[in-house]
Structure 1
Amino acid sequence: MKKILSMVLITVMTMCLFTGCTQKINYTSKATKKIKIGISMANFNNKYGSYLLNEMKNYSKSLNDVEVVFADAKLNSNTQLSQVENFISQGVDAIVVNPVYTDSSKPITDKAKAANIPIISMMVPFANENDAACHIAPDSKQAGKLEMEYLAKKMNFKGNVAIIMGPIEDSAQRLRTEAYHEVIAKYPDMKLIGAQTAEWDRARGMALMETWLESGKEIDAVASNNDEMAIGALKAIEAAGKLDKISVGGIDATPDALDYLKSGKLAVTSFQDATKLSKYSIDTAVKVAKGENVDKIIIVQNELVTPEDADKYMAKWKNKK
């Protein structure tokens, strides 16, 4: 009888031991498994995009249970599609994409949907946002309105306006430019005399402004879709000796632009909070990876930045370093 009881006891202890070990292994596995997120940016070399990228990298480093993989599409939609396919093959838990162009983004959402991996659009919407878990972006229409209303007031609501646009296919360009048109239309004594793209680029903004000045166009204000093109325009205007005659506005409030703002060369810009945008993007990706519900659209409001505000916003950038 004692022998039988001993055998039963040994069997029970053995079962408990293995059961306990199995539970411990499962628990440890879940606790140490990191959530993996793939992020494809349209262009690492875009000035504002580079600040946004740095903010995302810095924030991701503070998350112990999250691994973030970054990829540069280099303004090529096919490259971006390949990057998303690579993320899928790596078994990421969620994907964040800053689309090169909206119009060429449908294959990206199709791939993510087929793989049953949640995908988020950042800055630029997908062609098929219904297949995305969320869209995160600054309010481009608001940014354009803030800039153009300030320029209009500085012009005393009369004079000629030229618009420097971002890429024609870009949704932010469309919304900002649309806002300019709406503001200009409000004031009978203001006139739009030219609108052309400089592809978000400083050198192209400078070249375009030089062409306008050489043509003899009378320009009282330049509304630029971003700070980089605005700085390019300012370089051409300064070389022509017309800084006191033409007001220039931009969008982003980058450190370079704030230097121009403080010096009085740039009239106005608006602040797009890269810290908020990066944090919202990664936090939302983590939530959808966990199966949590998130808002379908997250829009970050911009802040008007005038020369008097330059030091305040310079401090914001310094605090991020």
Structure 2
Amino acid sequence: MNLKKKLPLFISLIFLVLIISACSNEQANQNETTSDSGGNGDKIVIGASLPTFSDVWLTYLHDGMKDYAEQLDDVEVIYVDAQNDASQQVAQIETFITRGVDAMVIMPVDITSAPDMVDRANAAGIPNIIVNRYFEGVEEATAFIGSDSKTSGLMQMEEVAKLLDGKGNIAIMNGELGQEAAIQRTDGNKEIIEQYPEMEVILESTAKWDRAEAMNLMENWLNSGKQIDAVVANNDEMAIGALMAAEAVGKLDEIVFAGIDATPEALKYIQDGKLSVSVFQNAKGQGAGGIEAAVKAVRGEELEKVTDIPFELVTIDNLEEYIQE
């Protein structure tokens, strides 16, 4: 084959290589976003790893991080989505270490892998701030910013017990199994239930923090024929999914529904009389606190080892103050 015949084939091969390379780069970057506050000179670079970008409550926490970082002229934050995969999150921490970030803000996917991530960051000499999810060994991190998950479960169930006059059949919807918030919130629920002889847990299963999963689970529970007096969900999204399923079959008014997080949509459901209880968890405050602590650690400023951001009960009686917020 002469040169003229080979040339088109050669050009086609180069073009194909360029396409493959571009696709590979797009795939590598699809789970990463960067917040750059602008300015000149050296910047503090923070790596922030979140369990997922798709969870409603976590979008508010993410917003809190971004809003705070954007006020700082010398800070850049690299956000990565672990897609609820603990092994992927560990790999992200290793990538941060390789990049040489100045600090990390980590909300662990689960409490099992969390100590390992802290150990890796410490070994690399990188300040690491844990946000939201407490675990055994968290004291080895540079700081913890969050709320006591068990307290939210206690507050939630205390109000449900009050609404049921201390008796009834309870169905508990768990978040992702193995995650600190799901474990501790449910433990809080059960601690209160044990105080009431005429209350018992008759159904319990995971809906993975997800509204659609909760709808499916609630449909199955309703089809079981068991008497359900209250559905107590580890978050608002699951509570909303459960009440939507009950409403579809005309049983909304027969059951008390309770969630946690007090998201804007949940507040609307409380206002409409469909959701009875939620517990406010300051997502933006935790997100902003994580970035603030990371910046302080890098600058060598005084830093609290533990910053507790308390939960607050939300019902129809105090709804207006949260709507205004």
TM-score of the alignment, normalized to the shorter chain, above 0.5: yes
Alpha-carbon distance in structure 1 between the residues aligned to 2:60 and 2:208 = 18
Q: Deviations over 1:240-286 (max 9, x none)?
A: 21111100000000111111110000001011112221221111111
User: TM-score, normalized by length of structure 2?
Assistant: 0.84
Alpha-carbon distance in structure 2 between the residues aligned to 1:126 and 1:286 = 23
**How far off its partner does 1:312 sit?**
2.5
Amino acid aligned to 1:107: D
* One of 132, 139, 160 as aligned partner of 2:141: 132
Larger mean CA deviation between 68-77 and 285-294 belongs to 285-294
Stretches of structure 2 that go unaligned for 5 or more consecutive residues are 1-39
Stretches of structure 1 that go unaligned for 5 or more consecutive residues are 1-30, 317-321
Which residue of 2 is the match for residue 295 of structure 1?
A: 304
Q: Deviations over 1:89-121 (max 9, x none)?
A: 222111011111110233322321221111111
* One of 259, 271, 278 as aligned partner of 1:262: 271
Alpha-carbon distance in structure 2 between the residues aligned to 1:117 and 1:260 = 43
Amino acid aligned to 1:273: N
Residues 55/175 of structure 1: CA separation in 2 closer, same or farther (3 Å cut): same
Aligned identity (percent) is 45
**How far off its partner does 1:291 sit?**
2.5
Higher helix share: 1
Amino acid aligned to 2:157: M
**How far off its partner does 1:293 sit?**
3.9
Amino acid aligned to 1:68: V
Which residue of 2 is the match for residue 24 of structure 1?
A: none
Q: Secondary structure at the match of 1:266?
A: coil
**How far off its partner does 1:129 sit?**
2.1
RMSD: 1.5
Alpha-carbon distance in structure 2 between the residues aligned to 1:295 and 1:130 = 12
Matched, 1:281 2:272: no
Q: Secondary structure at the match of 1:244?
A: helix
Amino acid aligned to 2:59: S
**How far off its partner does 1:225 sit?**
0.4
Matched, 1:40 2:46: no
Alpha-carbon distance in structure 2 between the residues aligned to 1:243 and 1:267 = 11
Aligned residues: 286
Alpha-carbon distance in structure 2 between the residues aligned to 1:201 and 1:45 = 10
Q: Secondary structure at the match of 1:160?
A: strand
Q: Deviations over 1:146-205 (max 9, x none)?
A: 111111111111111111111110111111111111111111111211111111011111
Residues 97 and 121, structure 2, Cα contact 8 Å, conserved in 1: yes
Matched, 1:190 2:230: no
Q: Superposed, which structure 2 residues align to 1:1-321 within 5 Å?
A: 32-125=41-134, 128-316=137-325
Residues 68 and 292, structure 2, Cα contact 8 Å, conserved in 1: no
Residues 115 and 138, structure 2, Cα contact 8 Å, conserved in 1: no
Residues 58/297 of structure 1: CA separation in 2 closer, same or farther (3 Å cut): same
Q: Deviations over 1:5-39 (max 9, x none)?
A: xxxxxxxxxxxxxxxxxxxxxxxxxx943222110
Alpha-carbon distance in structure 2 between the residues aligned to 1:310 and 1:193 = 30
Structure of greater Rg? 1
Residues 262 and 308, structure 1, Cα contact 8 Å, conserved in 2: no
**How far off its partner does 1:78 sit?**
2.2
